[in-house]
Structure 1
Amino acid sequence: MSKVYVIGTCDTKMEELSYARDLIVKAGVEAVLVDVGTRGTGAGADISAGDIASRHPQGRDAVLGGNDRGAAVGAMARALAIWLAERGDIGAVLGLGGSGNTALVTEAMRALPVGVPKLMVSTVASGNVAPYVGPNDIAMMYSVTDVAGLNAISRKVIGNAAHAAAGMAKWAVPAATSDKPGIGITMFGVTTDCVTQLRRLLDADYETYVFHATGTGGQSMEKLADSGLVDGMIDVTTTEVADMLMGGVFACTEDRFGAVARTRLPYVGSVGAVDMVNFGAKETVPEKYRGRNLYVHNPQVTLMRTTAEENKAIGEWIASRLNQCEGDIRFLLPLGGVSAIDAPGMPFHDPDADAALFAAIRATFRQTDRRRLIEVPHNINDAAFAELLAQQFREIVK
């Protein structure tokens, strides 16, 4: 049977960690207690802090040999990620701790594939957990009281977490009955019509997984690609690049398209919704952008039209990243507009800005036998554009 790895700092949390381990064992599941204390003074763990630290690329002393606690926590997280990746028997990972241990353990959890059960009992789980979770299936449980001794409340919370981890390890999720390959597709409100039509064209032969392009959406799709859980990508909506470059709230990371390069999975992409940068309520738009073409999508979301200069930068960035991809790539330019509101008569219709985007991509994109740029005289939401996306994907898969 797979094991539950219970992870924390044994020099300060041994009582709580041992309690969780013992409950897991009583539930009939093997548990392994892992010490990640950066002082290396804990005792009683099944795997010592020194054992974990030794997996750091620069050796044990890179983790336990200094006086900088912040640097040590970061180094221990890296070592733990390497150590966990080497395990072939993980049924679940359970972490316990405060902000420092949460940052350490969840960094290692994020390196594990989607689908491996990950549960973090944390003092910070009732706040903004996005930095800890990212595009991963990490379950955060608020500890209510600090993880500082056992009491009537902490026993219940930690006990529930231990039983949950034991159950996830003991009862594997049945394999999917569908034998259709899975495709990741990115979507935004202003590209919904395109993706809806695309799904209808593909549903008979593929499982389609749609990701909302809100910063973590693109990351989630690429995380699944890295985890081997999708068989290809139709990246209709790359708007997160605009937010990253211009300071919007739905920004991707510098690793956008990284999974396309690493996995060489079949990839069809486009420039959906790069005509806009996303902000919160209108009053939250940065002062330097207040005089721009702004569109209130709803009371919580304000869109800013990108300029020709910004579109040039967006096009160059996207094309330069795609140039690093050696798999089968098809990138489609919708010359009739990149979103529902970038069409004649709509508030973001700006032919000059679009022309700058397309020109930058043409100039930067390096075409090969496997990497091709295709220009289409349609708006991204036109039926003909969706049909061409599906056709191109089927061709590179075949």
Structure 2
Amino acid sequence: MAQTVQTDRAHVALIGTLDTKQAEYAFAAQWLAANGCSVTILDVSTRLPFSHLDELPALQHVQTVSPLELFSASSDKHDGATPAQLKEQASRLERHDLRAALVDGCLAFLRARLRSGSSPPCDAPIDAIASFGGSQNTSFACTVMRNDAFKLGLPKFCLTTMASGDISQYIGESDICLMPSVGDISGSLNKITRTVLMSASAAIAGMANAYHARHTQARGADADDQRTEDRPLIAVSMFGVTTPCVTAASEALKRHGLEPVAFHATGTGGRTMERLIRENYFAGVLDLTTTEICDDLFSGVLSAGPDRLVSSASTAVPTVVSVGALDMINFGPLSSLPPSLEIDAKEGAGPLHVNASGRKVWEHNESVSLLRTTPDENRRLGESVVERLMRGLRAAKSEGRKAREVKIVLPLHGVSMLDKQGEAFDDREARQALFDAIESSAARAGDEAGLIKIIKVERHINDPEFAEMVADLLVRQLQHAS
């Protein structure tokens, strides 16, 4: 079944269960091979005795890695085992454990074929990873594709019956492309699935060929393109209600020869930013919009998890932090609010609502409702901001890095478009509770080196002067670090 992969072709790895989906994988592999790609199919079937392997057609430019080969690669305990011994060892595992071993085997195979980091360089590097299937296949393949080994930009594609509803569990913080399969991927082809598979294969081939060309041919970029590529990247967090600040700060960064990369604070955005910070993509971090902490603490729908705000401190990258949109907890439509926050259906029209307990709710649009944070919640938020930064600073020290000062800049006149004099969420008491909690928490955090510096500014977060100031603070940190 196996053939030598040609290195002058883009190399696509397909992950799937050939015992139940052989027709679809053979069709896609043949299409990809006919359109300039080499293909390796990683067969992750779990139904012993793998008799389907005897039925696989031989295709030019296509090789297959069997489940037993992947199982063998999953652990050094299998070294030297014969196929019969491997099959016997696999047969003793529960299906869940066998799938876990096959995930490890896929990771071992693919990691050995990355374009960077392999020593010696591999002779057939991977240019794309793809999969076709339902919930089991999608979950398996996306678990592999989400692994930190597969950096941003390596094409990752999944044709799936699960491309509807909440797909965050499959994508996580990665750049996986999901495409609806329309018909089921069930082991037989028909006019609809053949058409969809052809479109999916064309997308995979296009991405793989572009990635292959980018890494094997001269860039051919002109001087302006090269200067843009060489600009240091700056991570910037944003939300709709902090957009004026982010826009102005980004323009200021560009004037200093920096390239801002904005991340929308939607939970996934914050997690992705944290991951890329850990992977050393950024020269600096301008974390202006830390609103995802509200959702993490108070059960909103846009949480980025308990490690939001930790990575920049732990990696010692120059960082300026602010408190953008800490005045709001995000929920879905008004109808989705929990019982304690329900709005009276007879209550007046308009985007601003006040529930029975006096909590303000702003209907941002038909899909998003914003709950104003209270003074008590703001005290917890302030404490959490400092705790997370301190956790990162302690991690830097424990990992042998020299921790770097983090500046927290507080806009005393408001933290979002809604938190401003005369606007719906204007609440001096809540703002002051937030600012006081940050100051008091920093004072008692055990920060002997004084690495958390608090700067209070008599401005609103969206004032141009505030944006210029935070950008300038970060630029000065970068200059000091160089």
TM-score, normalised to structure 2's length?
Answer: 0.74
Decide which moves more: 7-16 or 372-381.
372-381
Q: Determine helix, strand or coil for the equivalent of 1:272.
A: coil
Following the alignment from structure 1 to structure 2, what is the Cα–Cα distance between the partners of residues 224 and 64? Answer: 40
Supply the AA of the counterpart residue of 1:379.
H
Q: Determine helix, strand or coil for the equivalent of 1:16.
A: helix
Following the alignment from structure 2 to structure 1, what is the Cα–Cα distance between the partners of residues 294 and 331? Answer: 12
Following the alignment from structure 2 to structure 1, what is the Cα–Cα distance between the partners of residues 273 and 69? Answer: 34
Identical pairs, percent: 37
Partner of residue 336 from structure 1, selected from 395, 407, 413 = 413
Q: Determine helix, strand or coil for the equivalent of 1:324.
A: helix
Partner of residue 316 from structure 1, selected from 375, 383, 389 = 383
Q: Determine helix, strand or coil for the equivalent of 1:30.
A: strand
Following the alignment from structure 2 to structure 1, what is the Cα–Cα distance between the partners of residues 177 and 38? Answer: 21
Instruction: Give the aligned length.
Output: 397
Alignment of 1:139 with 2:160, yes or no, is no
Following the alignment from structure 2 to structure 1, what is the Cα–Cα distance between the partners of residues 180 and 27? Answer: 17
Distance of aligned partners of 1:303 and 1:8 in 2 relative to their CA distance in 1, 3 Å threshold: same
Aligned to 1:152: 191
Following the alignment from structure 2 to structure 1, what is the Cα–Cα distance between the partners of residues 200 and 154? Answer: 16
Following the alignment from structure 2 to structure 1, what is the Cα–Cα distance between the partners of residues 385 and 73? Answer: 36
Alignment of 1:350 with 2:417, yes or no, is no
Alignment of 1:289 with 2:341, yes or no, is yes
Following the alignment from structure 2 to structure 1, what is the Cα–Cα distance between the partners of residues 98 and 461? Answer: 49
Partner of residue 185 from structure 1, selected from 236, 245, 250 = 236
Question: What pairs with 1:218-297 in structure 2 (closer than 5 Å)?
Answer: 218-261=270-313, 263-290=315-342, 291=357, 292-297=359-364
Aligned to 1:120: 158
Distance of aligned partners of 1:194 and 1:59 in 2 relative to their CA distance in 1, 3 Å threshold: farther
Distance of aligned partners of 1:140 and 1:191 in 2 relative to their CA distance in 1, 3 Å threshold: same
Aligned to 1:48: 66
Aligned to 1:194: 245
Aligned to 1:38: 46
Supply the AA of the counterpart residue of 2:113.
R
For structure 1, the residue ranges without an aligned partner over 5 or more in a row are none
Alignment of 1:84 with 2:122, yes or no, is no
Following the alignment from structure 1 to structure 2, what is the Cα–Cα distance between the partners of residues 313 and 56? Answer: 45
Following the alignment from structure 2 to structure 1, what is the Cα–Cα distance between the partners of residues 49 and 275? Answer: 35
Aligned to 2:370: 303
Supply the AA of the counterpart residue of 2:93.
G
Distance of aligned partners of 1:171 and 1:311 in 2 relative to their CA distance in 1, 3 Å threshold: same
Following the alignment from structure 2 to structure 1, what is the Cα–Cα distance between the partners of residues 12 and 141? Answer: 14
Partner of residue 13 from structure 2, selected from 2, 5, 27 = 5
Distance of aligned partners of 1:145 and 1:361 in 2 relative to their CA distance in 1, 3 Å threshold: same
Following the alignment from structure 2 to structure 1, what is the Cα–Cα distance between the partners of residues 333 and 43? Answer: 45
Alignment of 1:164 with 2:241, yes or no, is no
Alignment of 1:382 with 2:463, yes or no, is yes
Question: What pairs with 1:368-379 in structure 2 (closer than 5 Å)?
Answer: 368=449, 370-379=451-460
For structure 2, the residue ranges without an aligned partner over 5 or more in a row are 1-6, 57-62, 79-85, 115-124, 343-356, 397-402
Q: Determine helix, strand or coil for the equivalent of 1:323.
A: helix
CA shift at 1:18, angstroms? 2.6
CA shift at 1:76, angstroms? 4.2
Partner of residue 29 from structure 1, selected from 10, 18, 37 = 37
Q: Choose 1 or 2 for highest CA Rg.
A: 2
Decide which moves more: 112-121 or 328-337.
328-337
Partner of residue 16 from structure 1, selected from 17, 21, 24 = 24
Following the alignment from structure 2 to structure 1, what is the Cα–Cα distance between the partners of residues 285 and 90? Answer: 38
Supply the AA of the counterpart residue of 2:65.
I
CA shift at 1:239, angstroms? 0.6
Mapped contact 1:114–1:223 kept (Cα < 8 A): no
Q: Determine helix, strand or coil for the equivalent of 1:251.
A: coil
Q: Determine helix, strand or coil for the equivalent of 1:233.
A: strand
Distance of aligned partners of 1:270 and 1:93 in 2 relative to their CA distance in 1, 3 Å threshold: same
CA shift at 1:353, angstroms? 2.0
Decide which moves more: 198-207 or 269-278.
198-207
Following the alignment from structure 2 to structure 1, what is the Cα–Cα distance between the partners of residues 379 and 93? Answer: 46
Following the alignment from structure 1 to structure 2, what is the Cα–Cα distance between the partners of residues 283 and 345? Answer: 27
CA shift at 1:87, angstroms? 2.6
Partner of residue 103 from structure 1, selected from 102, 118, 139 = 139
CA shift at 1:193, angstroms? 1.8
Q: Determine helix, strand or coil for the equivalent of 1:46.
A: strand
Tell me the alpha carbon deviations over residues 216-269 of structure 1, each in whole angstroms, 9 at most, x when there is no partner. Answer: 221232343345443322111011110121121222123323542564332221
TM-score, normalised to structure 1's length?
Answer: 0.89
Distance of aligned partners of 1:356 and 1:234 in 2 relative to their CA distance in 1, 3 Å threshold: same
Supply the AA of the counterpart residue of 2:459.
H
Decide which moves more: 169-178 or 284-293.
169-178
